Amino acid sequence: MEMESASQLSNAHVEQNVAGCLVNDRPGHIDLPHDSMLRVKVGNFLEISHPPSGREVYYFQVIKIVDDYPDGQTVVIVLKHGSLPGGSHSWWEGDFEVKLSDNPIHYLRIVRALQHSARLYKPSFGLLEYILGYPDDVIEPWHDFQPLEMPDTFQAPGISPPNASQLAVMQKVVQRPFSLIQGPPGTGKTATIANLAYFFHSQGRSVHLSAPSNVAVSNMCGRVHASGLDVLWMESDSREYVASPHKHLTIKEKMKNLDLTPRISLESARSGLYSLEHKRKRPSDLRRARREEILKEASIVGATLSSSAAMEREFDVLIIDEATQCTDPEVLVAMMHGHKTIIMVGDQMQLGPVVLNARCMAAGLNRSMFQRLVALRGDPLRLDIQYRMHPSMAAFPAKVFYQGTLENGVTAEQRTPAEVEFPWPDPKTPMMFWKNHGREKPDHRDTSYYNPSEASRVLQVLNRLLDRGVSPDEIGIISPYNGQCRHIRSLMMQPANYAKRQLYKRVEVASVDAFQGSERNYTILSSVRTDHPGFLADKRRLNVAITRARFGMVIIGNVELLRQIPVWRRLIEHYQEQGLLVEGKLDELRVVQREEAGPASGPDTLDDAGAPSSLGTTGTGAPEGAAVSPTDRD
Say whether both 417 and 313 belong to one domain. Answer: no
Say whether both 11 and 148 belong to one domain. Answer: no
Residue 415 identity: R
Say whether both 524 and 498 belong to one domain. Answer: yes
Query: Quick check: 8 pLDDT over 50?
Result: no
Q: How many of the other CB atoms lie within 10 Å of CB of 339?
A: 27
Would residue 195 count as lying in a domain? yes
DSSP annotation of 275? P
Say whether both 12 and 49 belong to one domain. Answer: yes
Residues contacting residue 9 through CB under 8 Å, at least 6 positions apart: 102, 356, 622, 628
Residue among 623, 631, 528, 493 at smallest CA distance from 67:
493
- From 82, 103, 124, give the residue that closes a domain: 103
For the chain, state the CA radius of gyration: 26
- From 80, 103, 126, give the residue that closes a domain: 103
- Comparing 257 with 302, which gets the higher pLDDT? 302
Query: Quick check: 410 pLDDT over 80?
Result: yes
Say whether both 453 and 574 belong to one domain. Answer: yes
CATH code (residue 327): 3.40.50.300
Burial 299-324 (b: 16+ CB within 10 A, else e): bbbbbbbbbbbebebbbbbbbbbbbb
The answer to whether 62 and 43 are in contact (CB under 8 A) is yes
**Tens of pLDDT, residues 499-556:** 998 899 999 999 999 999 999 999 999 999 999 998 899 999 999 999 999 999 999 9
- Comparing 501 with 584, which gets the higher pLDDT? 584
Q: How far apart are the first and last CA of the chain?
A: 18
Give the strands of the sheet with 431-435, arranged side by side.
508-511, 475-479, 520-526, 549-557, 431-435, 581-583, 590-591
**How does residue 627 score in pLDDT terms, banded at 50, 70 and 90?**
very low
Query: For position 89, what pLDDT does the model report?
Result: 58
Say whether both 121 and 88 belong to one domain. Answer: no
Would residue 161 count as lying in a domain? yes
Q: What count of Cα atoms within 13 Å lies in the side-chain half-sphere of residue 517? A: 21
Mean predicted confidence (pLDDT) in 195-211: 98
Q: What is the mean pLDDT of the chain?
A: 85
Query: For position 496, what pLDDT does the model report?
Result: 87
- Comparing 602 with 207, which gets the higher pLDDT? 207
Say whether both 484 and 510 belong to one domain. Answer: yes
Residues contacting residue 498 through CB under 8 Å, at least 6 positions apart: none
- d(C-alpha 465, C-alpha 21), whole Å: 39
Say whether both 199 and 76 belong to one domain. Answer: no
Tell me the residue range of the domain where 12 lies.
2-103
Q: Please tell me the total count of domains within the chain.
A: 3
Measured on CA atoms in the order 72, 74, 79, 83, is the torsion positive or negative? positive
Say whether both 22 and 117 belong to one domain. Answer: no
- d(C-alpha 621, C-alpha 299), whole Å: 38
- d(C-alpha 321, C-alpha 186), whole Å: 14
Say whether both 30 and 169 belong to one domain. Answer: no
**Tens of pLDDT, residues 87-144:** 665 667 778 999 887 655 666 677 776 666 555 455 666 787 888 888 877 787 776 7
- From 340, 361, 382, give the residue that closes a domain: 382
Query: For position 121, what pLDDT does the model report?
Result: 52
Would residue 325 count as lying in a domain? yes
pTM of the predicted structure, to 2 decimals:
0.85
- d(C-alpha 488, C-alpha 475), whole Å: 14
Q: How many of the other CB atoms lie within 10 Å of CB of 15?
A: 20
Residue among 342, 252, 345 at smallest CA distance from 291:
252
- d(C-alpha 488, C-alpha 445), whole Å: 16
- What phi and psi values does residue 75 have, to the nearest 5 degrees? -110, 115
**Tens of pLDDT, residues 213-251:** 999 999 999 999 999 999 999 998 778 778 889 999 999
CATH code (residue 30): 2.40.30.170
Residue among 60, 63, 58, 83 at smallest CA distance from 74:
63
Would residue 129 count as lying in a domain? yes
Would residue 624 count as lying in a domain? no
Would residue 629 count as lying in a domain? no
Query: For position 371, what pLDDT does the model report?
Result: 95
Residues contacting residue 552 through CB under 8 Å, at least 6 positions apart: 390, 393, 420, 422, 424, 430, 431, 521, 522, 523
Say whether both 586 and 601 belong to one domain. Answer: yes
Say whether both 31 and 148 belong to one domain. Answer: no
Would residue 632 count as lying in a domain? no
Query: For position 159, what pLDDT does the model report?
Result: 95
Would residue 274 count as lying in a domain? no
The answer to whether 123 and 110 are in contact (CB under 8 A) is no
- What phi and psi values does residue 176 have, to the nearest 5 degrees? -120, 150
